[in-house]
Structures are given as C-alpha cells and as structure tokens.
Amino acid sequence: MKRFILVGAGVVVLGTIVFLLLPQGEQTDSSTTRLRFVSLAWQEQALATNRAIVAEWNAAHPELPVEYVQGTWNSVHDYLITGFETGDVPDVFHYESSVIVDFAMRGFLTDLAPMIEPEMRDDILDVAWASVRRPDGAICGIPFLMESFIGLYDVDALSAAGITPPTFERPWTWEEFRSVARRLTVDTTEDGTVDRWGAAIGLRNSANIVMNLSIGFGGSFFRKVDGQYVVRAGIEERELLSTIHTMLYADRSIAPSSVGQSGPAMIPGFFQRRYAMLIGIGAWGRQQLVENAPRDFRWGVIPPLKARTQDIGTSTQTLSIPKASKRTAEAMAFIRFMLSKENMARLALSDWMLPARASCLEQAEFNDPATGWDVTTASARFLKTGTWTGAPGYVEWKSRVANPVLQEFFSGRLSLDEATARIEEESNVVLSRYQEDGR
C-alpha cells in the first residue's frame, strides 16, 4: 500500500524473519504485564506522534503499560506470519486492510465487531468499514488512515499556458487531462528536446495506481463467478491502461522517466519544473511539497479526474488484534484510546493521510488550502472499496503478476492485448491455488 520504497534501509535479516524490532521508550519491570504494539509509522512526525500517544497511555495506565515496537512495511508480513504460526504475536499491530482480510480468512485475527463502541462505529466512514468487514459481519481491524491518490499541478505552468485548473464544480475528464498534458509538453529551447513534460505518473510498481484509478472507468479486474474470484481485463480495465500508454508513446506527454520511478521519487523533478502535473501519488506526498518545495514554487491539488465517474479506490491502514493474544480486552481498550477522535486526527495530520473518522474530516486542519488539505479532504466522498478486498492471494497476485506484467506493458515490451491476456491467465493461476485451499 504505502511507501514501500522508502523504508527498507534498516531491515535486519534473521533466518526466515525479516523484521526490525526496536522497543521504544522506558522499559517496564519484567513482572509487569505489558501489551506489545507493533507500529509501522516511519515519517519523523508520525513516529513522534505514535510514541507520544503510547507515552500518554502509559502515564494514565501504569498497571498496563504498552511496549512500542517499531516495524517496517517491507518486513512486517513475514514477521506476522511467523508469529501466527508460533503463537508469539504482538497484542496490537498496525497494517493495511488488503492484507489483514486475508489474515482473517485464515483464522489469525480476533473479530473486533462485538467490542466496537457505538461512538466509534458511527463516526468511522462506511467506506473505511467496508475495507475490513467480512461477509459474516466480522471486523478484522479498526481503520484509522485512508489511502487517497491525488494529482498535483504547477500553478505557474498552467497560468502561463492560459489553462484554468479543474475544480469540483468543473472537474477535468481524462480526455481533458490528456489535452492539457499535450499543451503543457514543451521544447522551450527549440533544440528538439522536451524541456517540460505535461505530466508524470510513478509506474515502477503500478498495480495500486492502476487498480484504484480503474474504478472511475467502471473497472475492477476482480470478479466473483460461482462464488470464486477471477480476474478479467475487459473494456473498462483496458481503457485506463490504453489511456496511459497512449500518453506515454503517442501523445508523448507523460515523462518517460515515469516508467521506472515511483511517485515520491518524481517529486524533485516536479520541483524542478520538468513536468507540470504529477498524478497518482498518495495524498501523503504533500508533506514533501510543504517542507521541501522552493520558495517560489506554487502548487495545487487536482480533484479526481472523471472517467465514467470520479470514483477512486482506497485502502485503509488498520489496528488489529491477533487471535493468539492473551489480552484481547486490554488490547481493544488501547485501540480505543489510540484511535479516539483527538488521537486519530493527530495520527492523520502527522502522516498526511485522511483520517477514517467523519468528525476529524470536519476539523479546520483538514480543510486548509495552503497545504492542499481542502481538496484532499473534499475528495474523500469519491473513495470506494475495490472488489478485490478480501480476495485470497491478492498480495501475491499484486507482487507476482500485476506489477511485473504492468511494468512490461508500460515499458513498451507488451501490447495491450498481450498484457491483458497475461494478467488474466497468470492471475487466475494464483487465485485458484488459494481458493483450492478453501480460503
């Protein structure tokens, strides 16, 4: 889901477990019962906020202190699987909805539904609950941060070209976006080399971007046939792929460097005005703009582009309790504290992601135009949960099928027909194996 390319530097390899275990803060007496909380926060502000909330809990609950354990996104999956198999699990862990649903299907997680208080149940958005709810109504994690892809634009580049930025009242269609990108792709020195591309989109590991943007075209890739998940790349799914490919190779309005880079890695080029728009980047990328953009660089946020709709997919970051935890009630009490209205707002602001609580989104901090929060927050009404939520084998499918095939397609090594045929054939091999296991 989020920022995998930036967090792997400190990973230690120990046998089959790849995980960084760093208890933080004051250690408690070994005779004291402690809750272990594995956090995946990694940005400086987010780390400080997580640790501060844990310290506040510990000050208020000396009889049940929490041990803060720092994990990494690159390694937490192996750590948790090993823990589930051995029974040596944390009491609370931070992860993402697309993965924990699979954990729940395999019987590893506590159903939190009976322990959710009405205040929390009613305040957290329906789309966030949909990302963690099983068909039988079980809740496998409490959602607290929502992933939202946004677009950015260079205010001065659009102004100089006489282009009016899109608004919620007048959003751009994808065709309009293509037209604007062509107009903004220029060779100012007339030496035959483009000095500024109209757009860029990080396509190095593009499955998340493609899946979530496809929703606006009516696409889903994942369907259920006779109770089993299958992958289909039909007209709707092909439309987005074709549009991006056309902008890369026919229009030549998307920067070629997009194919080999992630969205965050393209932000410096955005600052250097090598491209006028950057799309398909996580909302958290705004932190780099606020903190690192040149003083004279003015930027804005693009509302979701319109295909058939402006809908866009989302996943959530979550807190879950393993079924093997021996302190379920205490762990849930800590989650309630960690994800109170006040604390969820603090977590979301420090991570530059949308909070899952409606009451948080109403706060002034989440509607600030200077930091792009106003457009980002207003875009939340278009967030949808993809049909792939809960599909067995989704994580393996994304890493072993979707990302590699899409990389070949966007690199120009596969035609659209070849890419979609491979996606269907290879995807269903992966999914059938999981579904044969009864998951």
Per-residue pLDDT reduced to its tens digit, 198-247: 999 999 999 999 999 999 999 999 998 888 889 999 999 999 999 999 99
**Bridge pairing between strands 222-225 and 312-314:** unpaired
> What mean pLDDT is predicted for residues 162-181?
97
Q: C-alpha angle with apex 205: 39 to 392, nearest 5 degrees?
A: 65
The label of the residue with tokens 């996606």 reads 423
What's the full length of the chain, in residues?
A: 439
The two tokens of residue 319 are 């807190």
> How many helical (H) and strand (E) elements, i.e. helices and strands, does the chain have?
18, 17
Distance between CA atoms of residues 375 and 353, nearest Å = 13
Q: Which CATH class is domain 149-313+392-436?
A: alpha beta
Mean pLDDT of 297-308: 97
Identify the helix (H) or strand (E) that includes residue 271. Answer: helix 267-271
Q: DSSP 3-state assignment of 63?
A: coil
**CA 134, 140, 145, 149 torsion-angle sign:** negative
For the stretch 343-395, pLDDT in tens is 999 999 999 999 999 999 999 999 999 999 999 999 999 999 998 887 888 88
Rounded to an integer, what distance in angstroms lies between the CA atom of residue 96 and that of residue 108? 15
Q: What is the CA radius of gyration of the chain?
A: 22
Beta strands in 25-182 (DSSP E): 35-39, 66-70, 92-96, 142-146, 149-154
C-alpha 344/C-alpha 321 separation (Å) is 18
CA separation, residue 318 to residues 127, 321, 395 (Å): 13, 10, 16
Query: In this structure, what token pair is assigned to residue 385?
Result: 């949960």
The C-alpha atoms of residue 245 and residue 419 are separated, in whole angstroms, by 12
Looking at residue 291, its pLDDT comes to: 92
Q: How many Cβ atoms are within 10 Å of 294's Cβ, its own excluded?
A: 9
Q: Are 212 and 149 in contact (CB under 8 A)?
A: yes
Mean model confidence pLDDT for the chain: 90
Q: What percent of the chain has pLDDT over 70?
A: 92
Nearest to 111 by CA among 80, 76, 136: 136
Tell me the C-alpha distance between 230 and 214, whole Å.
17
Chain-centre distance of CA 263, in angstroms?
12
Question: Could you tell me the fold of the domain covering 4-147+315-376?
Answer: D-Maltodextrin-Binding Protein; domain 2 (3.40.190)
Q: How far is CA 303 from the centre of its chain?
A: 17
> What's the CA gap between 296 and 394, in Å, rounded?
43
Q: Does residue 326 have a pLDDT over 50?
A: yes
Instruction: State the pairing for strand pair 354-355/142-146.
Output: antiparallel
pLDDT in tens, 135-168: 899 999 999 999 899 999 999 999 999 999 999 9
pLDDT at 3: 44
Residue pair 166/334 in contact by the 8 Å Cβ criterion: no
For residue 129, the SS3 value is helix
pLDDT at 197 over 80: yes
Domain residue ranges in the chain? 4-147+315-376, 149-313+392-436
Mean pLDDT of the region 290-316: 95
Q: Which residues lie below 8 Å from residue 420, measured CB to CB, with a gap of 6+?
A: 233, 237, 238, 241
